[in-house]
Amino acid sequence: MIGKLKGIIDSYGEDYVILDVGGVGYQVHCASRTLQALPPPGEAAVLSIETYVREDQIKLFGFRTDHEREWFRLLQTVQGVGARVALAVLGTLSPADLASAIALRDKAAVARTPGVGPKVAERIVTELKDKAPSFANVDPAVVHLAGAIDDQRAPRPMRDAISALVNLGYGQPQATAAIAAAARGAGENAETAQLIRLGLKELSK
């Protein structure tokens, strides 16, 4: 199996790059974000590789880091997500943004991926919430509150405050993060109006 390729960029296709390694041109399929980050033809590049072997073909998928390749593998553990969809997700969201979307159960962020509908986005954030790598820079308190909101376990004032911010036009993840921060400062017994006021201050920072 090929795990890494180091060579010279020969040319680009719509969803792949030809990497010249010692005179052999390897066709490597990449996410759009990866292709955009690679250098122009004639310059050196290194790609982490995932090799798919089928009866009728061998296909190489390339990534800028091993971490990105792990996400590619992880996404495909979700029902209905194959290599094409996993690559499209990584073309839309960076690993850090994807981790945050899963941590905050932000289905809308994942659903921005072309070809990914609400049902598949729902499965990705639900099935990966316990399997995903560390959630980047997301506050653990926000992750906890997002789960509590989803399961209707959060205190009523907090749920009402988040709902109020969403009605004002803020996204659910942003509203959840703001109210989590507000509740940390105001305490567990804070009233809805106080949480809304503090939440708006957080959002204005």
pLDDT in tens, 1-38: 788 999 999 999 999 999 999 999 999 999 999 999 99
| Residue-level pLDDT at 135 | 47
Burial 86-123 (b: 16+ CB within 10 A, else e): bbbbbbbbebeebbbbbbbbbbebbbebeebeeebbeb
Which pTM value belongs to this model? 0.67
In the chain, domain spans? 4-63, 66-127, 140-203
Ramachandran angles phi, psi of 8, nearest 5°: -110, 135
Least reliable range by pLDDT among 31-45, 68-82, 123-137: 123-137
Number of neighbours of residue 178 by Cβ within 10 angstroms: 25
Q: What is the pLDDT of residues 135-191, one digit of tens each?
A: 445 555 565 565 555 546 677 888 888 889 888 888 777 787 788 778 877 776 788
Q: Report the percentage of the chain scoring pLDDT > 90.
A: 40
Class of domain 66-127: mainly alpha
pLDDT at residue 149, rounded to an integer: 55
End-to-end CA distance of the chain, in Å? 49
CATH fold of 4-63 = OB fold (Dihydrolipoamide Acetyltransferase, E2P) (2.40.50)
Q: Residue 133: which pLDDT band, with cuts at 50, 70 and 90? A: very low
pLDDT score of 202: 80
